[in-house]
Amino acid sequence: MPTAIPTERHPFEPFLPEGAGMLFLGSFPPQPKRWCIPFYYPNWLNDFWRILGLIHFGDKDHFCLLPEKRFDEKAIRAFCTETGLAFYDTACEVRRLKDNASDAFLEVVTPTDIPALLARIPDCHTLVATGQKATEVVAERFGCGIPPVGGCVDIDMDGRPVRFWRMPSSSRAYPLPLEKKAEAYRKLFTPIPQ
């Protein structure tokens, strides 16, 4: 008889700094053995923090502690608090169908209550899905279309306008050079003419 695959609960609390205007939602963290820090996008081989380093400081290694091959969690938390960047994921409980971090083999058992997260950060006007699975979960929750990679749609959350962006995955498994990913993410920080 096959063994049932156990579920995993989300290992982190939502990171919701006061005044946050942007909420990043991935799918779910990788297994702890792949972490270099106990925070969002913890895998040394994930380029999320390199992307933000390039955009904001012109240096992909700005948040990297290179000799230790880990990210500078203290600097990241300070930057995100100061800049108003919030983080969580679209699932708070999952089942890994294979022993890896691939979204293709991630079964969402309990999706995140995104409106409840947004209620905790009333200044938030932007939702950012960082990958395909996260995008699908957000679109399903709000009953909206799926934006193109690097694009956005406007959604209404009980009378509160929120812009929903779909970004390319920051995983190196996603076949796009770092500079091209940064180009897409840069749009998040560039005012859109009204």
Q: What is the CATH number of the domain that holds 65?
A: 3.40.470.10
Q: Is residue 74 part of a domain?
A: yes
Helix, strand, coil shares of the chain as percentages rounded to 5?
Answer: 30, 30, 40
pLDDT of residue 32: 93
Is residue 4 very low, low, confident or very high in pLDDT (cuts 50, 70, 90)?
Answer: confident
Written as six digits, the tokens of 176 are 């796009």
Categorise residue 126: left if φ over 0, alpha if ψ from -120 to 50, beta otherwise: beta
Q: Is residue 35 part of a domain?
A: yes
pLDDT of 127 > 90? The answer is yes
pLDDT of residue 96: 85
pLDDT of 22 > 80? The answer is yes
Q: Is residue 1 part of a domain?
A: no
- Tally of structural domains, the chain: 1
Q: What proportion of the chain, given as a percentage, has pLDDT over 90?
A: 81
Written as six digits, the tokens of 43 are 């895998």
Q: Is residue 191 part of a domain?
A: no
